[in-house]
Amino acid sequence: MDNYEVVIKSKTKWYEVNLKEVFMYKDLIKLFVQRNFALIYKQTILGPLWLILNPLVTSVVFTVVFGQFAGLSTGGMPQFLFYMSGNTIWMLFSSSVNGTSGTFLNNAHIFGKVYFPRLTVPISQMVTSVINFLIQFAMLVIVYFYFLFFTDEAVAFSPYFLLLPLLIIQTALLGTAVGVIISSVTIKYRDLAVAAGLILQMWMYLTPVVYTLDSVSGVMRTLLLLNPMTSVVNNFRFCLAGGGELVTGYWIYSAVITVLLAFGSIVLYNKMEKNFVDSI
């Protein structure tokens, strides 16, 4: 009797991203986005209103604690606008990380039953985070126009406003890449899933969300600028209301890091999704 050995391998290469196939499943991405919103706001009284209340309440707390009590400088920007702008763009990053960091573990019951491009799941999480952000950004713009037209605060309209879409896309991409890497690693090391929240909290304080980049100097300033989110948050404020200065060199560095992390997350994702069902 002949002995046969059959080896079944994935045709997907470690570096390959079949965007055409992902686009064919755009309706599935839409369903995943709807599922994400349903899971978040199911059995809540206020529902999506939390999208507006969350940044508003957090910004009020930051204004009182860091602006009034601690007396931290806001670089000439109105305190509430300063904290709300930093908080809004950071929420996009943190929600992108949190949304995708549990991709494998939270969807194992689906991945093990039916085939579909696995990349649709983190993409749907990124889309969900962007939609949430756009609602919060609309509130931020209203607050900005209030200070621009109805107060004597030092707020000006900046032509750099047109750069905001680039910063938003970069933030969503960076957060998704970090989240996918965490999700891939947690298949073997579950501790990272528990530590992800702590890492994000520490990361926020290493980013000028509640303080200005100008308030830090010397080696510490350089170290902060090596954080890819530092130039993003700083430039977001500058492009919105002209606060602080535009950091260009480190923004290019941040963009390069974002692309590298995005590529690395895809490589790791492709590698882990081939056999993750056997690891869970």
Burial 175-199 (b: 16+ CB within 10 A, else e): bbbbbbbbbbbbbeeeebbeebeee
**What are the backbone angles phi and psi of residue 265, rounded to the nearest 5°?**
-65, -35
**What secondary structure, in 3-state letters, does the chain show?**
CCCCCCCCCCCCCCCCCCHHHHHHCHHHHHHHHHHHHHHHHCCCCCHHHHHHHHHHHHHHHHHHHHHHHCCCCCCCCCHHHHHHHHHHHHHHHHHHHHHHCCHHHHCHHHHCCCCCCCCHHHHHHHHHHHHHHHHHHHHHHHHHHHHHHHCCCCCCCCHHHHHHHHHHHHHHHHHHHHHHHHHHHCCCCCHHHHHHHHHHHHHHHCCCCCCCHHHCCHHHHHHHHCCHHHHHHHHHHHHHHCCCCCCCHHHHHHHHHHHHHHHHHHHHHHHHHCCHHHHC
7: how many CB neighbours lie within 10 A of its CB?
4
Q: What is the pLDDT of residue 4?
A: 54
Task: Give 106-129 pLDDT, tens digit per residue.
Answer: 777 777 677 777 788 888 999 999
Task: Give residue limits of the domains in the chain.
Answer: 19-279
Q: What is the pLDDT of residue 274?
A: 66
Q: And the tokens for 238? A: 């500058």
Do 53 and 32 contact (CB within 8 A), yes or no? no
Please tell me the distance from the alpha carbon of residue 141 to that of residue 217, in angstroms, as a whole number: 30
Q: And the tokens for 163? A: 């750069």
pLDDT along the chain (280 residues), means of 10: 55 62 85 84 69 86 92 88 94 92 76 77 90 93 91 81 95 94 81 79 92 90 94 94 86 96 86 63
Q: What is the pLDDT of residue 279?
A: 55
Give me the sign of the Cα torsion angle 103, 109, 112, 117.
negative
Task: Give 177-206 pLDDT, tens digit per residue.
Answer: 999 888 888 877 776 777 788 889 899 999
Q: Is 43 left (phi over 0), alpha (psi -120 to 50) or beta?
A: left
Task: Give 65-78 pLDDT, tens digit per residue.
Answer: 998 898 888 888 89
